[in-house]
Structure 1
Amino acid sequence: MTSNPLNPSNGDEEPKDPLAEMLKNLMGGQGMGNIDPAELAKAAGLPDDPNLLAQMFSQVQAMMSAPSEGPVNWQLAHENARRVAASGSDPSVTSQQSREVDEALRLAELWLDQVTGLPATGLIGRAWSRAEWVEETLGTWRRLTEPVANSIANALSAAMTEQMPEEMKSMMGGASSMIQNMGGAIFGMQLGQAIGALSAEVVSSTDIGVPLADLEMALLPANVAKFGEGLSLPENDIRLFLAVREAAHARLFVQVPWLRGHLLSAIEAYARGIHIDTSKIEELARDIDPSNPEGIQEALSQGVFMPQRTPAQEQALEKLETALALVEGWVDELTWGATEKLLPSAAALRETVRRRRATGGPAEHAFSSLVGLELRPRRLREAATLWALLKAERGIEGRDAVWQHPDLLPTAEDLDDPQGFSERRKLAEASDSEVDDALQKLLNGGFDEPADTGSAASDTPAPSAPEESAGSGQVPPAATEEDQSGDGGPDTGGSPKA
């Protein structure tokens, strides 16, 4: 009998590491046993293509046998996202499509100049295929999902190890690293599936309200055409309307440089606070059937590991949803202002986009179930109303000045009562002004009353004061001190006058 380094044996004895052998067979080792590659690919959302399956299993086998760079196999996520993006119709962008997108975005910039004081970005408009969108945005997706992805992958591998019988643990040998790699591979495949599916739904680089690509302004012609199906509206109107939205997003994120980091940090903070329900993972580990990987994939896709949110998580989510709503509401208000008199279909397109952003598509739901994070601006309409009111009260420049600092942004309370925002802001500014004045006065030498009183007592000897007053007929020393200090009036007691 030939010795296997991952499955050592002594003579005719049973293998000492049956788990390693099982995993090896499961993930593409010699003799797939009862594992059907087509079923495993189906569970991962891959097309039933023999060439793709052969390539995938070859890569997975290599990844399973080599140490992973981390709990999540991001290379596998990347490859799976590319495959899913290309599994449907994803033709290369033509020169005509590139020209149409560039012209639409240039015109959108000119229209926006009339409705905002923020300057144009100067970015060149891009036309992307779905595969190009995956390439351009995957780095940001990794940043957004890594905290929860690592938690799930670590919890999954730990639970599978803990659920083994003690006698099997002693025989694991080289299987521990394979278990960790298996957890990372499973989550990487599922995450890649979700991102690849999203590439078929988004119409631009900022369609989900977050700048997934750094300093880019792009539309996806194939998805723009898909968006317009059933609307019975001119294709050029649809492209122009979506171009104005993309240009508005880009202008905001470029001219308000702190905003992108603010949003991404809020998402990361929320994701780091997610705790994995290990009891459900342990239940899955007990019931796992190596010949039916669909069970693991289904559990991940349905988000069965996600517990109820804690109060801290609810607060983080409220902050995130408010920020997303403010961005989307501002873009909605500007897009309407720029297009209402130029595009006859602007009102219909505005309502279509609002409903689409509020509900999300199938791929967005799958992504939120996988990582426990939704990126939908639930309060878009309230935010748009608030921005419209600010424009009416303060003008375009005053409205856009709110973006100067994070502390100036409206809160969830302001979305509840948009009309009261300006009054609350005035009260807060007045209070801040009083504090600033008091602090400045303190830094300039303090308040005069305590200092003058002490000075008069120390500089004017008590015994001599009456003699000077009686002999010269002058005013009492207290009045003399006040006159010398320039504060005037004998009743002031040394206090400064405004």
Structure 2
Amino acid sequence: MQPDATGPATVTDPAPAAPRRDGGGLPVNWSLAATTATRLMPAGPRTSPAAARELVERLRGDSARAEGHVREVTGLGAGLPLLPADVLDRAAWARAAVEGMDALTSGAELPASPWPVRTVTAAGSGAQLGALLAYMGARVLGQYDPFGGPGGGGRLMVVAPNVHAATTALDVDGEQFGLWVCLHEATHRLQFTAVPWLRDHFAGLVSDLLTLQEPDTDKLARLPDAIRALRGEDGRKGRKGDVLALVELLQGPEQRAVLDKLLALSTLLEGHADHVMDAVGPEVVPDVAVIRRRFTERRRGGGIVDRLLRALLGVEAKMRQYAVGAAFCRAVEREAGMDGLNRVWESPETLPTRDELTDPPAWLRRVG
């Protein structure tokens, strides 16, 4: 939120943590990324200091209350502390996102490169990442970062200016919308805190994907097929213009196998959170149906430039993840109840594959 005529009302990170080093596992200047994102971040909506303080305190309380509701619905996390979220402004979120990405990718082992080359590459990557975060920072409502916060133990964040802006744009009840947003992010926190192996498993997949390398000549050999797929000329339905399809087709067999696991897990995490936030129901969020409908329409909307950027950033693919993952969770719960759905969290072996996400009965047969 930005100052108005009544004085400053900026929501800041209560404990900002700047990146501790340049580089890490990837050739990225993390400090430059954070600085670039902060400088390019568009200003947030204007409001009074009193309204800003009220929103911050309400969102902090909502985040803990939301997780209580999520636990009642899912049966996960009994005995864990109910903690408030860190309610941040846009710039503080960008700094926290950079710190989390640094921690997540620190385990990647890339081929060594000369110091001057790495320095130049890191600067370019840092500037590009900062620009992307500046775009995302004006839109993200909340995030649970399993690798952020003190000691890298996880951090739930809610971006107050964006919640305020979305509430106005959707014309919905502010208190209900804030709680609804917190339900999604609190579900993510519970996924990682109630499932002991999930954090390391996710980090391991990311490190494996980044570490596996193959000659550029192999990727170039696959480029014509990838371009035909992107144009929809290879006979595959539903993949025309799909940037994710291009990325997949450029991967080698080992990379593709890891990417499949990572995409399946991400789809489950996002879909499960969407399913749970709606499963909490109108008893907690009376206008949940209206909020869901308007929010879904907002996800699909935007001008042509905004839609292009979302496609290039993979946001469109992420939206499909929400739909596919939520449909899987609904189907499994109808057939086997919440206890049956919770079997996905027993071990890495019980996670659904990408094929099973679109075929819930196949997953039920395998684990049952």
TM-score, with length taken from structure 1: 0.53
C-alpha spacing 1:343/1:147, structure 2 compared with 1 (3 Å) = same
How many residues matched? 309
Task: State how far apart, in whole Å, the 2-side matches of 1:253 and 1:344 are.
Answer: 28
1:326 and 2:282 correspond = no
Instruction: State the match for 2:126 in structure 1.
Output: 188
Q: Return the letter of the residue paired with 1:349.
A: I
Task: State how far apart, in whole Å, the 2-side matches of 1:340 and 1:274 are.
Answer: 49
Contact 2:108–2:208 (Cα < 8 Å) also in 1: no
Q: CA RMSD in A?
A: 4.0
Displacement, 1:200? 1.9
Task: State how far apart, in whole Å, the 2-side matches of 1:382 and 1:257 are.
Answer: 25
Q: Return the letter of the residue paired with 1:128.
A: L
**How do residues 75-474 of structure 1 correspond to structure 2 at under 5 angstroms?**
75-85=31-41, 87-89=42-44, 94-118=52-76, 119=78, 121-144=81-104, 180-206=118-144, 211=146, 213=148, 214-273=153-212, 277=216, 308-351=250-293, 367=313, 376=318, 378-426=320-368
Q: Tell which structure's C-alpha radius of gyration is larger.
A: 1
SS of the residue aligned with 1:201? Answer: coil
Aligned sequence identity (%): 25
C-alpha spacing 1:365/1:273, structure 2 compared with 1 (3 Å) = farther
Task: State how far apart, in whole Å, the 2-side matches of 1:146 and 1:230 are.
Answer: 38
Contact 1:201–1:223 (Cα < 8 Å) also in 2: yes
Displacement, 1:327? 0.9
Q: Residues 266-316 of structure 1, C-alpha deviation per residue, up to 9 Å, x if partnerless?
A: 223223336685899xxxxxxxxxxxxxxxxxxxxx9xxx89333333333
C-alpha spacing 1:357/1:275, structure 2 compared with 1 (3 Å) = farther
Q: Residues 89-116 of structure 1, C-alpha deviation per residue, up to 9 Å, x if partnerless?
A: 3889943222111222233133223311
Q: Return the letter of the residue paired with 2:127.
A: M
Task: State how far apart, in whole Å, the 2-side matches of 1:73 and 1:131 are.
Answer: 17
Q: Residues 332-368 of structure 1, C-alpha deviation per residue, up to 9 Å, x if partnerless?
A: 2211110344434312433555677789977665556
> Where does the alignment leave 5 or more consecutive residues of structure 2 unmatched?
1-21, 220-242
C-alpha spacing 1:350/1:261, structure 2 compared with 1 (3 Å) = farther
Contact 2:29–2:126 (Cα < 8 Å) also in 1: yes
**How do residues 11-50 of structure 1 correspond to structure 2 at under 5 angstroms?**
none
Displacement, 1:133? 1.3
Instruction: State the match for 1:73 in structure 2.
Output: 29
Task: State how far apart, in whole Å, the 2-side matches of 1:309 and 1:356 are.
Answer: 32
Q: Return the letter of the residue paired with 1:89.
A: G
> Where does the alignment leave 5 or more consecutive residues of structure 1 unmatched?
1-66, 159-176, 281-301, 427-498
C-alpha spacing 1:95/1:361, structure 2 compared with 1 (3 Å) = farther
Task: State how far apart, in whole Å, the 1-side matches of 2:183 and 2:128 are.
Answer: 33
Contact 2:87–2:159 (Cα < 8 Å) also in 1: yes
Contact 1:204–1:220 (Cα < 8 Å) also in 2: yes
Contact 1:105–1:243 (Cα < 8 Å) also in 2: yes
Contact 2:88–2:158 (Cα < 8 Å) also in 1: yes
Displacement, 1:222? 0.5
Q: Residues 371-393 of structure 1, C-alpha deviation per residue, up to 9 Å, x if partnerless?
A: xx997263433332332233334
Task: State how far apart, in whole Å, the 2-side matches of 1:68 and 1:420 are.
Answer: 43
TM-score, with length taken from structure 2: 0.69
Contact 1:121–1:255 (Cα < 8 Å) also in 2: no
